[in-house]
């Protein structure tokens, strides 16, 4: 990380997505037009089902899921010695399955306010007022767990906002960008909480340095990452590879989205050779491949293109409503989904979206996969559904 | 005899000599115009169904405008090929056309002129949701003589443009991407209106169809035997207006029950419409 410029925490309105490489933008337009007008479907969609177990294990072994340490150190700086009037609202991008704010708060010894269980959010019982008394910084992570989009589901978050207004201790509130957009409009959260702040986007150089550091820090095997198109080592040299510019653009500068996309773009040699054989067969032309001499001490991973998942054809409106509901709540069980979306909560769309790689199931909770987030965001935006700032 | 010769001369100078009229060119102009219009009518709606919904209305609006421009250009190109255009001839042609239209094609001419006015005034555009008389639906196409509406019951209704002279045209979205949906509830007067109003507000702001960038409001009024609640909100896609209203109705009734209110039982003589 030493070579990359240190990022910072910035006002949410100043958040800007990393620039796309020009060639990538042109390719993206071509792909969009091809899909829209030629009804073309991707022949390959890279999901866990399509990768063999061995390959995924190998990748996981070589690159452990990151904790986003750079962001945690920024939080430490931001929340150093807060006074009583300290009140900050930190907006984080969605699909944060690791819970960066909770992890940081627990590690730093700050008190964390637990959200009520989802069962009581929509029950007919009057909400219990949260207790915010105490000393030191109070961290309220994941505001999205304090409400459910149901006609009885907004009372807890309203009570919480009232208590925050009266609270005389430092408070750090965080929620994802989609939840924030929703709450700011329907319960006027923006009138109670201060102007939101956010982590600066990871640009291409920062992503490269971070991913390079992650792959070399666990110390088991040395890994080199070769571009499947030209065989170049994309981590070598000072210049940032176009691969990382593409990754920064596609991931919208969100580190955990970038990491998932990165992980999914990696192949072991056998896998790549198999795919090349298929490609050559389909195109009828032999494909130029560069065989690299592999050193037994160095593992080689090939970096491939990452096709976006496709929304089930003919079910776009229902799928988008479902994905939107998941984004503003972070995650929902099937039963909660039926409460939030009475018409489609119990339909088969959920299964189709899981199969297509948009949703994952974790502890009986459905949530949008980080790797599918860019596709989900652009789909929702195109449909005119209000989107989160990040 | 002199008068007859004069008339012949006038006639021959009004219309170009047949040998000078290039019928091939006229056919080419008509064919190119027809192809341009047909392509526009096919291509733009197809594009509109595939681009992000915020661009859909812009593309649909272009169809009648392009057609009008093509027709006017074709007309301007063909007239000098057939007629010898001078100021005197112009008045002769205009007079003849006026008489013909006035007697034979009065209604058609009225509709054509109304169509141009509607286009310029933007009374309705393809993609708009309009109400003309008792017919409410989405404007599918705007022709020279009429518009075609697709109603909520999936009927196609053809309405001539000349209705704009005599009737009010209600346009629900006026080129915008969304429109206000009003859902009515009639409740027996013995209830707590503050509770019910809050419950209905919560129903609207938690709907999956809601465009929450737009305002939501609940309007309350008294009728002879019921308290009338109007829940006003915007869906993010106006094509979902019926599903949105149904969602508000179903969940609204549940919320009203929980708020301790019940629906009004209307006496047979009261017409709420």
The tens place of each residue's pLDDT in chain B, 273 residues long, gives 555 565 555 555 777 887 888 888 999 999 999 999 999 888 888 888 777 666 777 788 788 888 888 988 998 888 888 888 787 878 887 888 788 777 777 888 888 888 888 888 889 988 899 999 999 999 998 888 899 999 999 999 999 999 999 999 999 998 888 899 999 999 998 899 999 999 999 999 999 999 988 999 999 999 888 999 999 999 988 888 999 999 999 999 999 999 999 888 765 554 444
**Final residue of a structural domain among A199, A230, A263:** A199
Distance CA B202, CA B252 (A): 9
**Final residue of a structural domain among A139, A169, A199:** A199
**CA A306, A310, A311 angle in degrees (round to 5)?**
150
Taking only residues 278 to 337 of chain A, the set having a beta carbon closer than 8 angstroms to any beta carbon of chain B reads: 317, 321, 324-325
Whether B95 and B156 map to the same domain: the answer is: no
Paired strand residues for B130:
B137, B171
pLDDT of residue A325: 94
Residue B1 in tokens: 């005899």
Instruction: Please indicate whether, in this complex, the C-beta atoms of B212 and A182 are within 8 angstroms of each other.
Output: yes
pLDDT of residue A178: 95
Whether B72 and B137 map to the same domain: the answer is: no
Band (pLDDT 50/70/90 cuts) for residue A49 is: very low
Whether B7 and B32 map to the same domain: the answer is: yes
**Final residue of a structural domain among A141, A173, A199:** A199
Cβ contacts of B206 within 8 Å, gap of 6 or more = A149, A150, A151, A153, A154, A186, A340, B251
Model confidence at A252: pLDDT above 60? yes
Other residues' Cβ atoms within 10 Å of the Cβ of residue A71: 21
Distance CA A191, CA B42 (A): 49
CB-nearest partner of A383 from B53, B199, B243: B53
Greater confidence, B228 or A3? B228
Half-sphere exposure of B238 (CA within 13 A, CB side): 24
Band (pLDDT 50/70/90 cuts) for residue A63 is: low
Whether B16 and B55 map to the same domain: the answer is: yes
Give the domain range for residue A142. 69-199
- Residue B270 counted as domain residue: no
Into how many domains does chain A fold?
Answer: 2
Residue B254 in tokens: 């549940």
Nearest to A198 by CA among A14, A382, A6: A14
B259, closest residue in chain A (CA to CA): A124
CB-nearest partner of B208 from A37, A185, A340: A340
- Residue B165 counted as domain residue: yes
- Residue A310 counted as domain residue: no
Q: What is the CATH number of the domain that holds B222?
A: 3.30.70.100
pTM for the full predicted model: 0.77
Into how many domains does chain B fold?
Answer: 3
Contact list in A for residue B209 (CB cut-off 8 A) is 321
Of A153-162, A303-312, B27-36, B117-126, the one with minimum mean pLDDT is A303-312
Task: For an interface test with A, give the residue of B46, B200, B212 to mutate (most A CBs within 10 A).
Answer: B212
Give the domain range for residue B82. 2-120
Chain pair A-B, CB pairs under 8 angstroms: 63
**B203 interfacial to chain A (CB closer than 8 Å):** yes
CB A146 within 8 A of CB A179: no
- Residue B272 counted as domain residue: no
Nearest to A261 by CA among A357, A364, A139: A357
Instruction: Please indicate whether, in this complex, the C-beta atoms of A186 and B205 are within 8 angstroms of each other.
Output: yes
Q: Measured between alpha carbons, how far is residue B75 from residues A116, A145, B25 in Å? A: 72, 66, 13
């Amino acid at each position: 990380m030493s070579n990359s410029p240190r990022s910072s925490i910035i006002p949410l309105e100043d958040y800007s997505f990393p620039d796309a490489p020009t060639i990538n933008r042109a390719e993206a337009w071509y792909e969009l037009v091809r899909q829209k007008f030629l009804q073309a479907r991707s022949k390959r969609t890279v999901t866990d089902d399509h990768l063999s177990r061995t390959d995924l294990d190998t990748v996981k072994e070589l690159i452990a899921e990151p904790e986003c340490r750079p962001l945690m150190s920024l939080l430490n700086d931001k929340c150093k010695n807060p006074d009583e009037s300290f009140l900050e609202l930190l907006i984080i991008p969605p699909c944060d399955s690791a819970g960066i704010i909770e992890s940081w708060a627990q590690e730093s010894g700050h008190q964390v306010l637990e959200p009520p269980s989802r069962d009581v959010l929509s029950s007919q019982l009057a909400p219990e007022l949260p207790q915010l008394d105490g000393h030191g910084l109070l961290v309220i992570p994941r505001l999205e767990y304090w409400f459910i989009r149901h006609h009885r589901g907004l009372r807890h978050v309203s009570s919480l906002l009232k208590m925050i207004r009266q609270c005389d201790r430092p408070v750090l509130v965080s929620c994802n960008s989609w939840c924030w957009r929703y709450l700011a409009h329907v319960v006027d959260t923006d009138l109670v909480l201060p102007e939101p702040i956010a982590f600066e986007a990871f640009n291409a150089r920062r992503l490269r340095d971070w991913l390079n550091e992650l792959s070399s820090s666990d110390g088991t095997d040395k890994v080199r990452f070769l571009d499947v198109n030209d065989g170049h080592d994309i981590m070598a040299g000072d210049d940032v590879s176009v691969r990382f510019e593409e990754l920064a653009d596609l991931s919208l500068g969100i580190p955990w989205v970038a990491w998932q996309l990165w992980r999914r773009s990696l192949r072991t040699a056998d896998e790549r050779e198999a795919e090349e054989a298929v490609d050559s067969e389909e195109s009828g032309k032999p494909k130029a491949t560069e065989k690299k001499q592999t050193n037994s001490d160095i593992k080689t991973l090939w970096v491939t293109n990452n096709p976006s998942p496709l929304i089930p054809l003919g079910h776009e409106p229902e799928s988008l409503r479902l994905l939107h509901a998941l984004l503003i709540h972070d995650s929902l069980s099937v039963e909660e989904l039926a409460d939030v979306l009475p018409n489609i909560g119990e339909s088969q769309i959920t299964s189709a979206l899981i199969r297509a790689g948009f949703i994952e199931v974790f502890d009986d909770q459905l949530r949008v996969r980080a790797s599918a987030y860019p596709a989900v965001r652009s789909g929702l935006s195109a449909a005119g559904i209000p989107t989160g700032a990040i | 005899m002199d008068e007859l010769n004069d008339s012949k001369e006038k006639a021959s100078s009004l219309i170009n000599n047949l040998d000078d009229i290039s019928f091939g060119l006229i056919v080419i102009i008509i064919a190119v115009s027809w192809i341009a219009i047909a392509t526009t009518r096919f291509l733009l709606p197809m594009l509109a169904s595939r681009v992000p919904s915020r661009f859909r209305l812009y593309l649909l609006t272009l169809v009648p405008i392009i057609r009008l421009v093509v027709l006017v250009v074709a007309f301007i190109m063909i007239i000098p090929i057939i007629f010898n255009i001078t100021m005197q001839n112009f008045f002769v042609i205009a007079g003849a056309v006026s008489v013909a239209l006035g007697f034979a094609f009065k209604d058609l001419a009225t509709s054509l002129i109304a169509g141009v006015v509607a286009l310029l005034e933007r009374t309705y555009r393809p993609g708009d949701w309009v109400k003309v008389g008792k017919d409410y639906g989405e404007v599918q196409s705007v022709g020279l003589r009429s518009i075609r509406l697709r109603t909520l019951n999936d009927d196609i209704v053809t309405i001539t443009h000349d209705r704009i002279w005599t009737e009010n045209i209600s346009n629900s979205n006026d080129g915008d991407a969304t429109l206000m949906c009003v859902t009515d509830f009639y409740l027996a007067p013995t209830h707590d209106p503050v509770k019910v109003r809050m419950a209905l507000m919560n129903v609207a702001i938690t709907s999956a169809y809601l465009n929450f960038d737009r305002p939501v409001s609940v309007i309350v009024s008294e009728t002879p035997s019921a308290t009338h609640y109007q829940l006003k909100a915007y869906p993010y896609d106006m094509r979902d207006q019926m599903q949105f209203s149904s969602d508000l109705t179903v969940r609204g009734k549940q919320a009203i029950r929980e708020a301790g209110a019940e629906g009004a039982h209307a006496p047979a003589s009261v017409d709420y419409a």
